[in-house]
Chains A and B, each alone.
Chain A
Amino acid sequence: MDVTLMLWIDAALTLMILSFLYRDNPFYKFAEHLFVGVSAAYLMAVGFWDHLVPNLLGKLFPSLMSGVVPGAVGRSPDYYYLIPAIFGLLLLTRLIDRWAWLSRWALAFIVGGAAGFNLPRFLDSDFIIQVQSTMIPLVVLDASGNLLWGASFSHVVLVLGVICGLVYFFFSVEHKGVLGHVSRAGIWVLMVTFGAAFGYTVMARISLLTGRMEALGAWLGSIF
């Protein structure tokens, strides 16, 4: 497509979306609906050509799909793939009220399979190794035995932050006395975390706005 035309479409859609900052209007609605429609169509096409064709049709009918699936030439059909094909069709029974219950079998397989697949990885990467990462020395020394103040302070903050945060979510004992103070410190740790996350989100949004402003600048530059 012509670059100038692309710049005009880019700029027009950007201005239509930004017009919502003033108030809701038909231009914004048009751009919004266009975005939803194009995204849905794109994902549907990708779903067919990148999911169904290579992962299912290419396995069941390799000679038929040899023109579009690399490596399918000369491969014999793999009929095990009839099982996921049937499960996939079962999902579509949701469209027919009388047979909709059949879709639960496929959903049960998806939920069970995903849980079984993900649980060990999350348990290992997000729990056990994370606990290991918190078991660190509070006093850090260099090779000569000198105290590294920065690293030691960092480790102390990390360990205390984790303990205070965990205590805040420990509801089996009433948060009074020492536990109350630690729990209160845990709230501060959480607030700092949320604040940092919010700061990062602001940075992300400003980055996107900067990208749009640069695009508008390129469009104006093509005119003047």
Chain B
Amino acid sequence: MRIPDTILQIDRRIIFLLIGAAVCIPLLLKPRFQDSPTPIVQSIFDTVERLPAGSRVFLSFDYGPDTAPELDPMAKALVRHTMTRGHEVSFFTLFPEGVGQIKKITDNLLPVEFPDKAYGRDYVNLGYKAGLGGAINTMVVNFRTLVNADAEGTPLDDLPITADVDEMVDYVIILSLTAGDPGLKEWIQFAGDIAGIPVMGGGTAVVAPELYPYYPQQLVGLMGGLKGASEYESALVDRYPAYRNATMEATMRMGPQVVTHVLIVLLVLLGNLAYFLGRSGPGNRAGRTGQGNRAG
């Protein structure tokens, strides 16, 4: 068998192994690929940074554990940033599975890294609300109709952080971490465009291309996938160097990303080279007439 044919008929399990190695080796060696924030990510950072301390921030965790490797680093970076700036954060989710993601932050990150921050005074968990875009619409029209207690059932009036929250516009910004529908798109449609509350946040790499058209008029900023998270971490570390070791989760995961992408590009080039060499080879009539394309 000729070399081009061998390459084109390579067992897909070999490619799986190569991808696995491309992910595992950088995880072991821990190379750092420091990102610099692009304007679309920097604008989120700048907005959070410029808000006066004590501003009310609405942070919606619209994702579940299946997309946590991409969105957890964004969540942690945003929580660290908002808490460092002294903002009052209301956690919320439109995803049933988002409840667990919020608890990871409120039970693990906040008590350890911000022991001086108190539940009900500096942050609150408003929990999950059903209704997709309709839930957002209801909150914009009459916030207390849908949200009248926190996730544990404590009335909002009994919590200092929410006692005087009567409307959605009492929040100065809406941040959403999005894995699909409902998510940032619905926050733009039903809250940002109607109530004029600045909307920004992050999305998995799969949903990010759908969200870019909203920037900059309807979306203040967007973190697209792990790269976006890594850029936000860089912006955070540039401003607050104390976080250099704490917030490098996405940056560390960019190592496997870089190596795997290089590998995939090489495989695509190799596959195309083999295909064209095979087509132009002697005696390959089928290839010359375009019938020799062996997909896969």
- Residues on A lying within 8 angstroms of B by beta carbon are 21-22, 42-43, 46, 50-51, 55, 70-71, 117-118, 121-122, 124-126, 129-130, 132-133, 193, 196-197, 200-204, 206-214, 217
Does B223 reach chain A (CB closer than 8 Å)? no
Shortest C-beta distance, B208 to chain A (Å), equals 6
With contact pairs A132-B217, A209-B19, A210-B27 given, residues A204 and B70 touching in the complex (Cβ less than 8 Å)? yes
The digit string for B179-223, where 1 denotes a CB below 8 A from any CB of A, is: 000000000111001100000000011101100011001100000
* Contact of A125 (CB < 8 Å), options: B19, B129, B189: B189
Q: Could you list 13 A-B pairs, sorted by A, with CB under 8 Å?
A: A42-B96, A42-B97, A46-B96, A71-B148, A121-B133, A121-B193, A129-B217, A132-B217, A133-B218, A203-B227, A204-B225, A207-B205, A212-B69
B193 contacts A55, C-beta separation under 8 Å: no
Closest to B256 in A: A210
A200 engages B208 (CB within 8 Å) = yes
* A210 with B23, Cβ < 8 A, contacts A21-B16, A118-B133, A133-B213 known: yes
Contact B217 A133 (CB under 8 A): yes
Which one of B23, B130, B155 lies within 8 Å of A213 (CB-CB)?
B23
Interface-side segment among B54-62, B257-265, B284-292: B257-265
Asked whether B193 lies within 8 Å of A200 as measured between CB atoms, the reply is no
Which chain A residues lie closer than 8 Å to B148 at the CB level? 70-71
A124 and B193 form a contact (CB under 8 A): yes
Which residue of B is nearest A67, CB measured? B153
Find the B residue at minimum CB distance from A214. B27
Contacts of B97 in A (CB 8 A): 42
Can you add 13 more A-B contacts, CB < 8 Å, to A121-B190, A200-B205, A204-B204? Answer: A43-B96, A50-B129, A55-B130, A121-B193, A133-B217, A196-B209, A200-B208, A203-B205, A203-B227, A204-B225, A206-B19, A207-B253, A209-B19
Residues of B within 8 A of A203 (CB): 205, 225-227, 257, 261
Q: CA separation between A214 and B73, bound complex, in Å?
A: 14
**Residue B128 at the chain A interface, CB threshold 8 Å:** yes
Cβ 8 A contact of B155, one of A71, A200, A204: A71
Tell me whether A206 and B23 are in contact in the complex, defined as CB-CB below 8 angstroms, given that A46-B96, A50-B128, A121-B189 are known contacts.
Answer: yes
Q: Are A197 and B209 in contact (CB under 8 A)?
A: yes
**Interface of chain A: mostly helix, strand, loop or mixed:** helix
B149 near A70 (CB under 8 angstroms)? yes
Query: Given known contacts A206-B23, A213-B24, is B213 in contact with A130 (CB within 8 Å)?
Result: yes
B68 contacts chain A at the CB level, 8 A cutoff: yes
Determine the residue in chain B with the shortest Cβ distance to A194: B209
Assess the A200–B224 pair: CB atoms within 8 A.
yes
Distance of A211 Cα from B217 Cα, bound (Å): 34
Asked if residues A206 and B213 are in contact (CB atoms below 8 Å), the reply is no
Across-interface contacts of A118 in B (CB, < 8 A): 133
Q: Does residue B2 face the partner (Cβ distance < 8 Å to A)?
A: no
Residues in A neighbouring B224, C-beta threshold 8 A: 200
Nearest neighbor of A136 in chain B, beta-carbon distance: B217
State how many angstroms separate the Cβ of A151 from the closest Cβ of chain B. Answer: 11
Q: B14 to nearest A CB, angstroms?
A: 11
Q: List the B side residues contacting A197 at CB < 8 Å.
A: 209
CB-based closest 4 A-B pairs: A211-B69, A70-B149, A204-B205, A200-B205
A70 touches B153 (CB 8 A): yes
Question: Are B218 and A125 within 8 A (Cβ)?
Answer: yes
Whether B96 and A204, one on each chain, are in contact in the complex, defined by CB atoms closer than 8 angstroms, is no
Q: Which residues of B contact A217 (CB under 8 A)?
A: 27
* Distance in angstroms between the alpha carbons of A21 and B19 in the assembled complex: 12
B281 in the interface, Cβ–Cβ < 8 Å? no
- Taking the closest CB of chain B, its distance from the CB of A127, in whole angstroms, is 11
CB within 8 Å for A202 and B96 given contacts A51-B130, A213-B23? no
CA–CA, A43 to B95, complex, Å? 10
B27 touches A129 (CB 8 A): no
A interface footprint on B124-166 (CB within 8 Å = 1, 0 otherwise): 0000111001100100000000001100011100000000000
Residue pair A200, B206 in contact (C-beta under 8 Å): yes
Closest chain B CB from A209 CB (angstroms) = 5
Shortest distance between the CB of A191 and any CB in chain B (Å): 14
Known: A70-B148, A207-B257. A125 touches B193 (CB 8 A): yes
Q: How far is the CA of A180 from the CA of B229 in the complex (A)?
A: 41
